[in-house]
């Protein structure tokens, strides 16, 4: 290798090539090259050996152990463990220490035709081989095992099924059957076959250790990532103390005034836009506008639910009860939109922008698991906010999910004698942004703070006089759509 080419690399490897070794000797004398490990030199004189090796790890491994196979857990993780362990199948067994990295060489079968060429002269175990390797009977060395835990393997297999269907899972099993003999992993294939069979409900489920895989086998799969989000929100809510805001609208007139605006704004946010007077006439006459029958029924359907104190005092007492409440309220709210399958959970996946909601096959299981988290919350506002996020995040229906999530939130507050919450038009961007912060960044604080703020605004909406309530909201910018306005009170 020429001098300039060598200097273009952060890492230079010693070899049997005389020119390269002479160059390394010369550059070391000039202080332009430093040794950081056996056979490993660097032109970077500022960074730590640990960082340099991490950054160039696959190149280094390929140079030190040509044609080795990244295997076992490393085939899935594609990086060292948090403690710096990485596993390669090679010609012999040995443990090698580099700054910040421990290389575990495991004697075994070289790359098979099904394995993938990887960077730096390495190969990567194909999926079927990686599953077999990780089902070996292993033990922990240095506090870490070469194999991922079985429950993790089960969850990965469940994800294959969820993403690409039963055919892909069967294809993986067929490939594993073909290569098990070459790898001397007949026992591991037998175990893999049993796990896949259990997930597909064609074999006993006793072998399963993952709650995700067990739920799939029992016919109620759930979204484990969403469950983690629910747990994050639950923990943040239980850490706080929330003020009580007793329901101020005790008369029927006052409660109905609030319910009107609750229905009006909840629909407006979702794109069903009416002038206040038009919406008021629809609700007071119970008559839809001739040219906008379905839109009118959206407002009416929401109002029928949120103005009914008895209905709004019902909160779920069990996982199945939660599903029943959701389906009943959706059926009422979406009665004029048969294309939305009123009262039926979605039968295909939905999304909003870059956010993909819970897979339609996992709706029931995710809601039921979510109910278990919800049950651990103490304060009515905490339960209300959790219900808002859970329903929004699952998106269980083909349409009307935002409205249902806000209805479920306010039912929690009504049942506890607390003031309900309205999300006015001017607050739409803040509200949606707060939801996304938790969905995409695991950050619940913005959502908690946003709903607390709008809760205080909503607590001031009170009284029997409809015009006074509307005038107050006008002064608060509640009806404004432009970005330059903020919610005031």
Domains and CATH numbers, the chain: 3-107 (no CATH), 150-217 (no CATH), 224-475 (1.10.3290.10)
230, 222 contact by CB (below 8 A): no
Tell me what pLDDT residue 67 has. 92
Angle between helices 224-238 and 363-374 (to 10 degrees): 20
Q: What is the pLDDT of residues 270-307, one digit of tens each?
A: 998 999 999 999 999 988 888 898 899 999 999 999 99
Tell me what pLDDT residue 5 has. 45
For 292, other C-beta atoms within 10 Å of its C-beta total 15
Element (DSSP H or E) covering residue 338: none
**466: exposed, middle or buried (Cβ count in 10 Å: 0-12, 13-18, 19+):** middle
Q: What is the pLDDT of residues 222-275, one digit of tens each?
A: 898 999 999 999 999 999 999 999 999 999 999 999 999 999 999 999 998 999
What is the dihedral sign for C-alpha 121, 126, 129, 130? positive
**83: exposed, middle or buried (Cβ count in 10 Å: 0-12, 13-18, 19+):** exposed
Mark the ranges of the chain whose per-residue pLDDT is less than 70.
Answer: 1-8, 138-142
Tell me what pLDDT residue 1 has. 43
pTM of the model: 0.69
How far apart are the C-alpha atoms of 164 and 85, rounded to whole Å?
31
Q: What is the pLDDT of residues 451-461, one digit of tens each?
A: 999 999 999 99
Residue 257: CA count within 13 A, CB half-sphere: 22
Q: What are phi and psi of 135, to 5 degrees?
A: -100, 10
Tell me what pLDDT residue 2 has. 47
């Amino acid at each position: 290798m020429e001098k300039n080419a060598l200097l273009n690399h952060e890492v230079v490897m010693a070899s049997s090539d005389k020119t390269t070794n002479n160059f390394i000797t010369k550059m070391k004398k000039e202080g332009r090259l430093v040794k950081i490990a056996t056979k490993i030199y660097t032109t970077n004189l500022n960074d730590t050996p640990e960082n340099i090796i991490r950054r160039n790890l696959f190149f280094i491994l390929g140079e030190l152990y040509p044609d080795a196979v990244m295997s076992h857990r490393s085939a899935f993780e594609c990086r060292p463990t948090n403690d710096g362990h990485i596993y390669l199948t090679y010609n012999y067994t040995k443990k090698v220490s580099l700054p910040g990295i421990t290389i575990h060489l495991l004697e075994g079968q070289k790359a098979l035709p099904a394995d993938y060429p990887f960077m730096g002269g390495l190969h990567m175990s194909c999926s079927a081989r990686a599953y077999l390797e990780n089902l070996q009977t292993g033990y922990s060395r240095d506090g870490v095992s070469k194999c991922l835990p079985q429950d993790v393997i089960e969850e990965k297999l469940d994800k294959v099924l969820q993403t690409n269907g039963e055919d892909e899972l069967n294809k993986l099993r067929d490939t594993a059957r073909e290569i098990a003999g070459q790898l001397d992993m007949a026992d591991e294939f037998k175990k893999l076959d049993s796990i896949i069979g259990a997930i597909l409900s064609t074999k006993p489920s006793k072998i399963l250790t993952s709650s995700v895989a067990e739920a799939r086998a029992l016919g109620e799969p759930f979204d484990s990532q969403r469950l983690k989000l629910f747990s994050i929100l639950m923990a943040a809510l239980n850490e706080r103390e929330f003020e009580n805001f007793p329901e101020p609208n005790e008369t029927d007139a006052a409660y109905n005034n609030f319910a009107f605006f609750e229905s009006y704004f909840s629909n407006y946010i979702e794109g069903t836009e009416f002038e206040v007077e038009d919406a008021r006439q629809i609700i007071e006459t119970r008559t839809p506008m001739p040219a906008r029958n379905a839109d009118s029924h959206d407002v009416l359907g929401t109002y029928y639910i949120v103005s009914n104190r008895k209905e709004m005092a019902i909160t779920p007492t069990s996982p199945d009860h939660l599903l029943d409440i959701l389906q009943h309220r959706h059926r009422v709210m979406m009665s004029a939109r048969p294309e939305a399958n009123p009262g039926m959970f979605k039968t295909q996946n939905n999304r909003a922008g870059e956010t993909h909601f819970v897979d339609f096959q996992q709706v029931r299981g995710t809601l039921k698991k979510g109910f278990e988290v919800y049950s651990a919350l103490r304060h009515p506002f905490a339960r209300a906010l959790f219900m808002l996020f859970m329903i929004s995040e699952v998106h269980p229906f083909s349409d009307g999910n935002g409205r249902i999530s806000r209805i479920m939130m306010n039912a929690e507050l009504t049942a506890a004698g607390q003031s309900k919450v309205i999300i006015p038009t001017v607050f739409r961007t803040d509200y949606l942004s707060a939801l996304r912060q938790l969905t995409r960044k695991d950050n619940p604080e913005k959502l908690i703070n946003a709903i607390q703020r709008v809760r205080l605004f909503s607590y001031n909406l009170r009284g029997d006089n409809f015009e006074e309530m509307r005038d107050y909201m006008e002064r608060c910018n509640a009806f404004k759509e432009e970005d330059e306005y903020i919610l005031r009170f």
